[in-house]
Structure 1
Amino acid sequence: METQLNPDPGRPNPMSLSGRTIIITGGAQGIGLAAAKLVADLGGNLVLVDMNAENLGAARDAIGTDSCLTVAGNVSDPAFASYAVEQAVARFGAVDGLVNNAGITRTAMADKMTLEQWQQVIEVHLTGSFLFLQAAGRRMIEQAKPGAIVNISSDAGVQGTIGQINYGTAKSGILGMTMSAAREWARHGINVNCVAFGVVETQMTETLRGEKFRDTMLSKIPLRRWSSAEEAAMPICFLLSGAASYITGQRLSANGGHQMSA
């Protein structure tokens, strides 16, 4: 789906990220990579974080900009978030935005899930998001200028899921983290929001989009289609931009109508 972000080049683009430095975790593939490409198109500096250094290099080449720093590491490592923020500041001088996107799945029914499967997902999605939110937030407070944090949640965190109680719990926790940080940091000019996605066309959702579940899943989505990763990038960049300057503590549901609320 192609969308003109600024159909009139004579007018300023309210979603411009020109000169802003954005950290994206899980930035080497899927939604993270799509968001990174859009941030670059909107004029932002990029700090891509991922565990796989080779994939990060490929992502940087695909984005094709000199304003892209890659930092390889595990988001659940307590020291890594601070290190990534330090590298961002050393390269670009500031941190203006964060996208907490890194995620994994470890599927099992609740009665059969191992403690390791539980902890792996909680550590990446929830603890990792907190560590990066904390490190980036501390830097934004020190900078004494507006900043934006976008946490990635899911329909699973709002309505539950089957076979992924670890994932649903983590994504529900992201909602509470978002609202709490938004209340604490509003006085510093830091907006904290989250995007809750439905089914996005990424490697993580291949099973859901497969023949076994496809028709059932699509029947529950009023728009009758999946979201592309590029489509998913747009609400993320909206919340990073000045166009969302009066929005904080909110969940933006980008799910084709699969889960609705007043």
Structure 2
Amino acid sequence: MHPIVSLEGRTIVVTGAGQGIGKAIVETVVALGGNAIAVDLNGDTLKAVAAQQPEGRVLAVQGSVADAALADRAVADGVARFGAVHGLVNNAGIIRPAMIEKMTDPQWQDVIDVHLTGSFYWTRAAGRHMVERAKAGDTTGGSIVNISSDAGRKGSIGQINYAAAKAGLLAMSMTAAREWGRYNIRANSVCFGVVETPMTEVVRGEKFRDGMLAQIPMGRWSTPDEAGKAVCFLLSDGASYVTGQHLGVNGGFHISL
């Protein structure tokens, strides 16, 4: 019997791979037999992630995800190194919190550039390669996973930029699923609640902790490892007929039809 979740022989691009969820995804991809193209702005953390994995299994790419040329180059380098790119995880993210009336133009634009525009650049770059493979007769297909958030479905006080970008990723997933389904390319979103990462330190702090946990039926935060496993399921053939969907991985923080 074949394992339900395997990435044997697959190559996955992971942005924001230097820490937190991205790091956990890279580790899980490699553990499941795949190769990773790990992308991050921080070269030091990126090198550390690559060094922790078996030699030759991780290609480290340093730079900003908001650089369209970097996306094209990283996919091309990954194809040259591993033969093909089979998956993409748009995970890179930043926060620039402020109430609406106090938010500056740079605070708005920085978050949109990284979360939304950057994800478009990487989706376009990886998707072009996957479509070309399909047109050449390769039936392997591909899988794109956009890391969204419950903030994109509910809104988030003090983060209109982040919530708007994450909502945009839901539409990006659905559109890619519709356009590329005929090429066996799937696109889905994962909506996390609160994961134990540096980005969520404030909401997990003393001021907000009890109130946040009271809204989570499972009564705890998610670990990065749990987050990585959910993403890798969508990357694998275990989710071969799943596309255009939004998977909530949040301990019940957001429950809807």
| TM-score with structure 1 setting the length | 0.95
Residue number among 42, 55, 69 corresponding to 2:45 in the alignment: 55
Residue number among 52, 61, 64 corresponding to 1:71 in the alignment: 61
* 1:146-173 residue CA offsets vs partner (Å, 9 max, x unmatched): 1000000000000000111100000000
- How far did 1:62 drift? 2.2
Q: Is the 8 A contact 1:118 1:166 kept in 2?
A: yes
Distance in 1 of aligned mates of 2:54 and 2:204: 30
- Secondary structure at the aligned position of 1:149 is classed as strand
Residue in structure 2 matched with residue 46 of structure 1 by the alignment: 36
Residue number among 191, 203, 208 corresponding to 1:208 in the alignment: 203
1:154-173 equivalence runs, <5 A: 154-173=149-168
Residue in structure 2 matched with residue 102 of structure 1 by the alignment: 92
Q: Is the 8 A contact 1:40 1:65 kept in 2?
A: no
Question: Which residue identity lines up with residue 26 of structure 1 in the other structure?
Answer: G
* 1:147-202 residue CA offsets vs partner (Å, 9 max, x unmatched): 00000000000000011110000000000010011000000110000100000000
Q: Is the 8 A contact 2:177 2:188 kept in 1?
A: yes
Q: Is the 8 A contact 1:126 1:170 kept in 2?
A: yes
Distance in 2 of aligned mates of 1:231 and 1:65: 25
Residue in structure 2 matched with residue 23 of structure 1 by the alignment: 13
| TM-score with structure 2 setting the length | 0.97
Residue in structure 2 matched with residue 114 of structure 1 by the alignment: 104
5+ residue gaps, structure 1, are 1-10
Distance in 1 of aligned mates of 2:98 and 2:120: 25
Q: Paired residues, what number?
A: 252
Residue in structure 2 matched with residue 80 of structure 1 by the alignment: 70
Comparing 38-47 and 64-73, the one that deviates more: 64-73
Question: Which residue identity lines up with residue 159 of structure 2 in the other structure?
Answer: Q
Name segments (4+ residues, structure 1) moved above 3 Å. none
Cα distance change on mapping 1:260 and 1:65 into 2, 3 Å: farther
* 1:197-244 residue CA offsets vs partner (Å, 9 max, x unmatched): 000000000000000000000000000000000011111000000000
Q: RMSD over aligned Cα, in angstroms?
A: 0.7
5+ residue gaps, structure 2, are none
Distance in 2 of aligned mates of 1:116 and 1:105: 12
Residue number among 143, 151, 155 corresponding to 1:148 in the alignment: 143
- How far did 1:65 drift? 4.0
- Secondary structure at the aligned position of 1:196 is classed as strand
Q: Is the 8 A contact 2:68 2:122 kept in 1?
A: no
Residue number among 239, 243, 248 corresponding to 1:248 in the alignment: 243
- Secondary structure at the aligned position of 2:191 is classed as strand
Question: Which residue identity lines up with residue 255 of structure 1 in the other structure?
Answer: N
Question: Which residue identity lines up with residue 154 of structure 1 in the other structure?
Answer: S
- How far did 1:56 drift? 0.7
- Secondary structure at the aligned position of 2:56 is classed as coil
1:188 aligns with 2:183: yes
- Secondary structure at the aligned position of 1:125 is classed as helix
